Structure 1
Amino acid sequence: MAEIVVNYALDKLTTLLTEEVQLHRGVKEEAQTIAEELERIEVYLRAADEIIDRSPEVKVSVNLLREVAYDIEDALDEYNLRIARPPGDDLLASLRNITSSIRKIRARHQIASEIQRLKFRVLSIAEGHNRFRPENPTADIKIAPKIWHARRQDALLLEEADLVGIEIPKKELISWLLQGDTEREVVSVVGMGGLGKTTLVKKVYDDAEVKLQFKYRAWITVSRSFNLEELLKGLVRQLYKVKRKPVPQEVEGMDEGQLRTKINSFLQQKKYLIVLDDVWRIGDWDAVKFAFPKNSGSRVMLTTRHAEVASASCMEFNGNVTKVYRLNPLSPEESWTLFCRKTFEKNACAPDSNWKTLAVSILERCEGLPLAIVAISGVLATKSIDEWDMIQRSLADGLEENDRLDSIEKILSLSYYDLPYYLKSCFLYLSIFPYDHPIDKMKLIRLWIAEGFVKVKEGMTLEEVAEAYYFDELLNRSLIQVAGTTGEGRIKTCRIHDRLREIIIRKSKEENFLTIVRENMMLPEKVRRLSIQKSMQDVHDRQRMPRVRSLLMFRRVDSLSKSYNPILHLPDLRLLKVLDLEGAPLEIFPNEIFRLFHLKYLSLRSTKIKSIPSSIGNLQNLETLDLKNTCVTALPAEISRLQKLRHLLVYRYEIQSYAHIDSKYGFKATTHITRLLSLQKLCFIEADHGGNDLMKELGCLNQLRRLGIVKFRTENGVALCSSIEKLKNLRALSINSIEEDEIINLDCLSCPPRFLKRLYLTGKLEKFPHWISSLHSLAKVSLKWSQLRDDPLQSLQDLPNLAQLDFLQVYEGETLHFKAAGFQKLKILSLDKMDGLKTVIVDMGAMPLLEKLFLQRCKLLHSLPSGIEHLRNLKLLEFWDMPAELIMTIRLEIEGGDYWKVKHVPEINTTYWRDGGWDVYSLYRSIDSEISAPTRTLELPSYWK
């Protein structure tokens, strides 16, 4: 871990020696001495990092080296800040020349003194580090790039793996939930961390039979330290989403007692299932239990590590009936099955007896804990048999007297220590997010880059390197888990298991990597990164924070409106590189931000900011500017000074019920935006403001990966096509016309970007764009208000990678025909507001992988798609405001109906817009075949955006 700090300081020193030609010769020589010594220290640190947990002497040495590396970084950043020339016009720059020269001379004198002092510290540490060098480093576990079999391409995650030993407990829990019509009962699952309690209960919660029986469901994560008020508000929000109705405004101002009363009142006379995941204390249960009324057949499920919590909650609600399921570790047979699946990929067992002997010995240390088995498998999958032997001996050391938890922790820690040094920082960085906070993959990657963790690889962008060599590596090692994916299969969010999170939080604290701020706490003397997850009140009055490089605040922060402002006034924050104020109650752009010369990442997402001052041009190192879901509608011309800007996000959605043509809002831009030659993501610019000049100049942005345009006009077509042909790296293109009948004219596009994966066209098309059928990389196509007269399926059916297809008012014909062998990779299909559509035909062999089918507002479609019975992989069928005649055909008791065609589909829902909200109904598969009241919590479909 210390190695990356040293490496980062070394990079900055190298840059100083290369670029600062006016440094005194003696200073350069001393800086060169430091650089050479740091290179030697790096080699030492690679060996030391592997044994630091077993050698106190090495730990002391590494800590000293880390601190001096931090001081080198601070000194160089301070120097760069002093010599930085504030941007301005030529006249103002000329007037400042004399002052600037004097400032630079002073800065060079100061850096000379600082470098001399740092050189003595480095040499002093270097002289002593041989005393700490391991005598026989080969005896310790080595991080080696050897791979005894091909690296797995698909991460087999614990949450999604072939879950060993889960069927029996799942069946029993479902039977407890569905048995009888007794009053509200509690069902508890208890077991140590890492056994898979949450995984098991989630499988039960998502079971089709459970969904059908419980009209109202909600999932709440409690965790060790939770905010009761926010927890109850989250529960209210989930319950209101079931009916697709907005949460009453007064809820935000309610206290805990009022919220409990609100929930209790809402649930009266309703059959519900509420899951409280990860309850730590009986008091936590006592704080929420009175929110749940004694409704017949209703259930509350708990997961907990503590048996007394499980039994107390059950006995109080269930009387003499104790429904506590004790989740036990896997049996040796089950452990072996999971181990082999994770370690040897498709092979059922170890390659030979030598492997098996070592595997059995290592597996014994896992104590049947699935998390530990998955973690150690991720390490062993890339090792040779000699390395397996070293790992087995390492795990055996000192464990005889330890209990199970110590053994498990050592196994999980091994997964961390086995990481290459450059991945350790990336992994520790995950602890910056609050417990159970969804971690957006692209946000995480941008933060890694801003922090300087990601190294350049020739021919790749930093984002591509971070995804392929950092994120995917952590995924393959099962250290992070997929939490959410997009329709076309891209990973959108990830999470980390709470046991691993506990370990990296502790290591972050030990190494002064990250400080998590909670209420009224004293901060360490030297803080590098701050994650504010509670209150920051009064911290600024007690201590200085001159070393802070990153400050992230999260939406669930207590008293946020009182705490964010003093932080920004701190003079210590001038070296800040990352500032994330998402969700803060800001209405005016804070002027303090413009003094942050080193700032690389700035997020003001979901604030109420309306305008950006021209001083934004001061932030010349800015790489990411995130203004999504703000009220910003224009950017000043000075934005063009941000030559390092890579991601510019300025847009918001406004959707009340169904999507409409102008539900997406971007920002006004002129051709000055095309001077930002480093841009990779630009969303969304208004075409009608910059006109053809802007559309034509977009071709200069040859690094663009994603481009979004709104308020597009027909006359912009030729100019935009000329630009698109130059954007060879484009992966996603979104175009929204200014009105429904405004034609998107892209016919003259002859050479589209060959690697385009996502295409969104919202507006009228005179004819289907001929070039789309040549884009073999396309994974998602969204067409809205196209008003085509010719069937578009013919041009789309042979696209080899198309996984999601969304149509909204696309085709005016009466029949859509999905032909045999067409759409071989399609998983999601949405047909919305096809006003003339009367018939949908699905040939056998068409769409063999289809999992989700949405039929919406097709008023003339009175029967199921012909051939829907061929879609054997269909998991979800949803009808939105569809004719009642169609819904009646799939009722079980209707003689001669179409129920037989969809009886293989696990989940069928009908949704109607009523009383200003969405009501969702699920179809019962029982004898009486009733259609239930609303049962699901759903967001508005992503294809409406």
Structure 2
Amino acid sequence: MAETVLSFVLRQLSTFLLEEGRLLGGLRREVQFIMDELEQMRAFLREAEAKEEDAQPTLQQWIKQVRDAAYDTEDILDEFNLRARHRVASQIQSIKSRIESISAGHQRYQSEYGISAQASNSLSAVNDTTWRYSRDDALLVEEDKLVGIDQPNKHLIAELLKGDDYQLKVVSVVGMGGLGKTTLVKKVHEDPEVRRHFPVRAWVTVSETCDFQFLLKDLIRQLHEAGKKPVPRSIESMTTTQLKEITKDFLQQAGRYAIVFDDVWDVEFWNTIKFVLPESSRGSRVMLTTRKADVASASCIESRGLVYRMKPLSFENSWILFCNKIFNGGNCPGHLMDVAKGILDKCEGLPLAILAISGLLALKDVNRTEEWEMVRRSLGGELEGTGKLDRVKRILSLSYNDLPGHLKTCLLYTSIFPEDYEIACIRLINLWIAERYVEWREGRTIEDVAWSYLSELINRSLIQVTKVFFEGIPGTCRVHDLLREIIISKSREQNMVTITTGQPTRWPSEKVRRLVVHSGSSNNTQHHQERRNYCFDHLRSFVTVGSRNPLLSKMLLSEISRSSKLLKVLDFFGQNIVEEIPNEIFYLFHLKHLDLWGTRMETVPKAIGKLQHLEYLNLGNTGVRELPMEILKLQKLRFLEVYQLVDSSDDDYGSHGFKAPSNMGRLLALHRLSCIDASSGSAILKEIGKLTQLRELRITKLRREDGKELCSSLANLTSLRELSVQSIGKEKMPQWVAHLHGLVRIDLDWSRLRGEEDPLESLQHLSNLVSVNFCGSYQGEGLCFKAGGFLKLKWMHLKRMEGLRWMRVEEGVTVGYSALEPASRAGFV
């Protein structure tokens, strides 16, 4: 979609003129001309692209020319600080000439297709504005608003729990995409009675293109964590046969278990995985979701299992879901009744289609019937006689087309993740920021704006929340398979993302701007040799997805770093084969985002100080324990995370932090800082007090005698919202905690507070507090939630509190207890 690309480049041009205009001299007029011409083209591109499929090849070619010119304009802007001014001047003149030529086509097609700028601007009823993230908004559809799911839910739970046989039983849920199979099975899997009956549980997403080794490793990790046993460290180097053996051995000894295999596509997968599941498994259960009847039947034959066929919602339930989403459970106005029912008829009882079209209609003016009629007409004649699946895709396409430009770009970017991949929301929004998809808004942080983008996509039901963190903030999300097909198609059209799996593949002839490597099993030297000569001159982002990618040889990383001078994003998240940063990376002038989470990094070179535009540095779960002084040169750094996870059996439970350099307080742009090792004394705590923009702070190994210094520093951090402190044997709740009125979350780990003082006494008057996490923090027998306290508290995590015997909740107090481990469960008074 050229209009989306154009909108993005126009924002960059506007920023460029503001920031660099005085250095342009006479070129300023040329850049302004380019900007004005592109703006004129954007005024009708949206409608032109709506007609593109039916248009002559000449119009399609013209749209491609606009897109390519926009991309090349972006290249020139980014090269401004790298190349000689005379060369940039020549490039600006060249692109100006191209745009003048393209502009002539603009005038011709505007007349030929009857497209007016005014009409095209009014196509979307949604203004290109930013929505503030509201934690009261529906993340998808609240659980109490799910409809038509109660009876299937009860039926499947009963099927899992009934019978005293010791044989493994399989329950398969089958139906077309968009019916809500995953939603139903997830609700069953998370049911409290099911959780109690099956102490060992796991959820594995299979998808059409799954990596079987990766799947087995994921299953092993989940099973061991559920069974509270250490995950074997050698699994990364195991063969498929060894992984199968270790999985089967564990399940034979585990007692009753429940495993879900979500989105199974072929019988071959079941015929392979079934040999990992012991036949005599003490009444264990396996659930499958699939679109294919043969998969459901094959999985249930041997185990005398159940095939449950999902059906579309009745019109009554469809209407309830429709009104829940648009009118928040209220009634549809009478003047919209006919058009609303006409639209709902097109959804044919498919929850995905209902949610998508409802998300679109919720933003329309209920007093303007013509806006709703326009939507009904858009779903009109073309859908008659087409298959149900095609109708759903048409509805999803309409919901996509209704998005403002900035949200289209953000949604298209989700195509970098594989099918059924659970996307970490914090990773996604930081990638959006690094790609410059998020616009600054006065009075708000860039992260808040990015969260608001995600919130709007969720509320439109184009992104689905899969896990929710404290305060209702989305933790992970996904894009439905059917919508993902549309997104990938549109992403390819505009050369937004190039994806490779590491398998032998032909590289595209077009310029690669964003290269994404998915996990794969191939390490074909010949194909790597072919890639060695490939040009990455226009590459903006290099992102990896998956735990291990053979393509990530040091040679390829060096090659990309050496030739991709415009690179802004390097994301090696979870790549445990990456041991060091190639030297060439430190010459990437434009690099803004460097994610090395879960890699095998142990040291950070002093050359890190050369990356003066770096805003995001993630060294979480690595071996790095100290940062060089040169890190202080990174004055734009917003996000700094350095820690190493510690096994839960360790007395130092939580994380190893990093020893910060002196003068850490110079990094004034920091919003998130994790995880400072405070064992060296109070000097670093004093420096923290200078970081007044901090919103999230994690500290480990806080000494008893340094609590006063931390309290003094925290008084300066008026924007602080999340605080995590892991202390060394503190016996009393620190007094400073009661003064942190802005906090929404606090974690206190391994403080071992004495029993004579109820730690809730100091926390209950923090009016914004939503989440409290105690882990080994209290040795007393009882906790009391007093009336008038904890006005917003929703989540209380209590772990490893072996002495706890009772909890009293006074009348009028409402608290959600989300995590009470067996050793912590107490009586409630």
TM-score by length of 2: 0.89
Q: Distance in 1 between matches of 2:216 and 2:646?
A: 26
8 A contact 2:548–2:574 mirrored in 1 = no
Q: Distance in 1 between matches of 2:248 and 2:685?
A: 56
> Cα 1:215–1:23, aligned 2, differ >3 Å: closer, same or farther?
closer
Corresponding residue number in structure 2 for 1:472: 455
Stretch of structure 1 that moved more, 136-145 or 294-303: 136-145
Q: Residue 400 of structure 2 aligns to which amino acid in structure 1?
A: Y
Q: Residue 320 of structure 2 aligns to which amino acid in structure 1?
A: T
> Cα 1:621–1:266, aligned 2, differ >3 Å: closer, same or farther?
same
Q: Residue 351 of structure 1 aligns to which amino acid in structure 2?
A: P
> How many angstroms does 1:366 deviate by?
0.9
Q: 1:322-378: per-residue Cα shift (whole Å, max 9, x none)?
A: 73222121122221121111121120x3111x3111111111111211100000000
Given candidates 651, 666, 673, the residue that maps to 2:664 is 673
> Cα 1:371–1:294, aligned 2, differ >3 Å: closer, same or farther?
same
Superposition pairs of residues 538-937 of structure 1, within 5 angstroms: 538-539=527-528, 540-541=531-532, 543-559=534-550, 563=553, 565-570=555-560, 571-584=562-575, 585-657=577-649, 660=652, 663-687=654-678, 689=680, 692-713=682-703, 716=706, 719-737=709-727, 739-740=728-729, 763-765=730-732, 768-769=734-735, 772=738, 775=741, 778-780=744-746, 782=748, 784-787=751-754, 789-807=756-774, 816-823=783-790, 825-830=792-797, 840=806, 842-845=808-811, 847-852=813-818, 854=820, 864-865=826-827, 867=829
Secondary structure of 2:620's counterpart equals coil
> How many angstroms does 1:501 deviate by?
1.7
Stretch of structure 1 that moved more, 623-632 or 207-216: 207-216
8 A contact 2:748–2:777 mirrored in 1 = no
Corresponding residue number in structure 1 for 2:90: 113
8 A contact 1:704–1:729 mirrored in 2 = yes
Corresponding residue number in structure 2 for 1:36: 36
Q: Residue 516 of structure 1 aligns to which amino acid in structure 2?
A: I
Q: 1:765-788: per-residue Cα shift (whole Å, max 9, x none)?
A: 4x6416616726544453623447
Given candidates 303, 308, 320, the residue that maps to 2:294 is 308
8 A contact 1:818–1:846 mirrored in 2 = no
Q: Residue 569 of structure 1 aligns to which amino acid in structure 2?
A: E
Question: Aligned pair 1:364/2:350, yes or no?
Answer: no
Question: In the comparison of the two structures, how many residue pairs are matched?
Answer: 803
> How many angstroms does 1:41 deviate by?
2.5
> How many angstroms does 1:304 deviate by?
1.2
Identity of aligned residues (%): 45
Q: Distance in 2 between matches of 1:303 and 1:151?
A: 33
> How many angstroms does 1:555 deviate by?
3.1
Q: Residue 268 of structure 1 aligns to which amino acid in structure 2?
A: Q
Secondary structure of 1:569's counterpart equals helix
Secondary structure of 2:259's counterpart equals strand
Question: Aligned pair 1:343/2:333, yes or no?
Answer: no
8 A contact 2:133–2:451 mirrored in 1 = no
> Cα 1:7–1:618, aligned 2, differ >3 Å: closer, same or farther?
farther
8 A contact 1:46–1:421 mirrored in 2 = no
8 A contact 1:773–1:795 mirrored in 2 = no
Stretch of structure 1 that moved more, 367-376 or 38-47: 38-47
> How many angstroms does 1:826 deviate by?
3.8
Q: 1:655-685: per-residue Cα shift (whole Å, max 9, x none)?
A: 3326537x53222223443222211112223
Q: Distance in 1 between matches of 2:280 and 2:638?
A: 54
Corresponding residue number in structure 1 for 2:201: 217
The Cα RMSD (Å) is: 3.2
Question: Aligned pair 1:499/2:486, yes or no?
Answer: no
Q: Distance in 2 between matches of 1:851 and 1:37?
A: 58
8 A contact 1:276–1:300 mirrored in 2 = yes
> How many angstroms does 1:606 deviate by?
1.2
Corresponding residue number in structure 2 for 1:157: 140
> Cα 1:285–1:383, aligned 2, differ >3 Å: closer, same or farther?
same
Stretch of structure 1 that moved more, 800-809 or 456-465: 800-809
Given candidates 343, 354, 373, the residue that maps to 1:389 is 373
> Cα 1:50–1:382, aligned 2, differ >3 Å: closer, same or farther?
farther
Given candidates 408, 415, 419, the residue that maps to 1:424 is 408
Q: Distance in 2 between matches of 1:772 and 1:465?
A: 30
8 A contact 1:164–1:338 mirrored in 2 = yes
> Cα 1:139–1:625, aligned 2, differ >3 Å: closer, same or farther?
closer
8 A contact 1:215–1:271 mirrored in 2 = yes
Q: Distance in 1 between matches of 2:713 and 2:249?
A: 58
Secondary structure of 1:674's counterpart equals helix
Gaps (5+ residues) in structure 2? none
Q: Distance in 2 between matches of 1:151 and 1:245?
A: 39
Q: Distance in 1 between matches of 2:558 and 2:594?
A: 13
Q: Distance in 2 between matches of 1:694 and 1:172?
A: 58
Question: Aligned pair 1:130/2:107, yes or no?
Answer: yes
> Cα 1:195–1:771, aligned 2, differ >3 Å: closer, same or farther?
closer
8 A contact 2:769–2:790 mirrored in 1 = yes
Q: 1:258-313: per-residue Cα shift (whole Å, max 9, x none)?
A: 43344334333754433221111222222222222322644332211112222233
Corresponding residue number in structure 1 for 2:5: 5
Q: 1:700-722: per-residue Cα shift (whole Å, max 9, x none)?
A: 33222223334444665565444
Corresponding residue number in structure 1 for 2:388: 404
8 A contact 1:695–1:719 mirrored in 2 = yes
> How many angstroms does 1:116 deviate by?
1.1
8 A contact 1:773–1:796 mirrored in 2 = no
Secondary structure of 1:589's counterpart equals coil
Stretch of structure 1 that moved more, 697-706 or 419-428: 697-706
Given candidates 453, 463, 483, the residue that maps to 2:466 is 483
Corresponding residue number in structure 1 for 2:313: 330
> Cα 1:367–1:118, aligned 2, differ >3 Å: closer, same or farther?
same
> How many angstroms does 1:39 deviate by?
2.6
> How many angstroms does 1:457 deviate by?
1.1
Given candidates 400, 403, 427, the residue that maps to 1:443 is 427
Q: Distance in 2 between matches of 1:24 and 1:177?
A: 70
8 A contact 1:598–1:621 mirrored in 2 = yes
8 A contact 1:611–1:631 mirrored in 2 = yes
> How many angstroms does 1:507 deviate by?
1.3
Stretch of structure 1 that moved more, 532-541 or 599-608: 532-541
> Cα 1:361–1:237, aligned 2, differ >3 Å: closer, same or farther?
same
Secondary structure of 1:114's counterpart equals helix
Corresponding residue number in structure 2 for 1:281: 266
Q: 1:832-889: per-residue Cα shift (whole Å, max 9, x none)?
A: 6768x6863525416433334637768xxxx95351xxxxxxxxxxxxxxxxxxxxxx
Q: Residue 804 of structure 1 aligns to which amino acid in structure 2?
A: S
Q: Distance in 2 between matches of 1:809 and 1:304?
A: 42
Q: Distance in 2 between matches of 1:598 and 1:442?
A: 22
8 A contact 2:168–2:286 mirrored in 1 = yes
Q: Residue 114 of structure 2 aligns to which amino acid in structure 1?
A: E
Corresponding residue number in structure 2 for 1:187: 171
> How many angstroms does 1:431 deviate by?
1.6
Given candidates 510, 515, 523, the residue that maps to 1:530 is 515
Secondary structure of 1:607's counterpart equals coil
Question: Aligned pair 1:145/2:107, yes or no?
Answer: no
Secondary structure of 1:574's counterpart equals coil
Corresponding residue number in structure 2 for 1:169: 152
Q: Distance in 2 between matches of 1:226 and 1:820?
A: 51
Corresponding residue number in structure 2 for 1:873: none
> Cα 1:558–1:68, aligned 2, differ >3 Å: closer, same or farther?
same
Q: Distance in 2 between matches of 1:838 and 1:273?
A: 30
Corresponding residue number in structure 2 for 1:924: none
Q: 1:79-103: per-residue Cα shift (whole Å, max 9, x none)?
A: 3223xxxxxxxxxxxxxxxxxxxxx
> Cα 1:546–1:704, aligned 2, differ >3 Å: closer, same or farther?
same
Q: Residue 387 of structure 2 aligns to which amino acid in structure 1?
A: D
Q: Residue 806 of structure 2 aligns to which amino acid in structure 1?
A: V
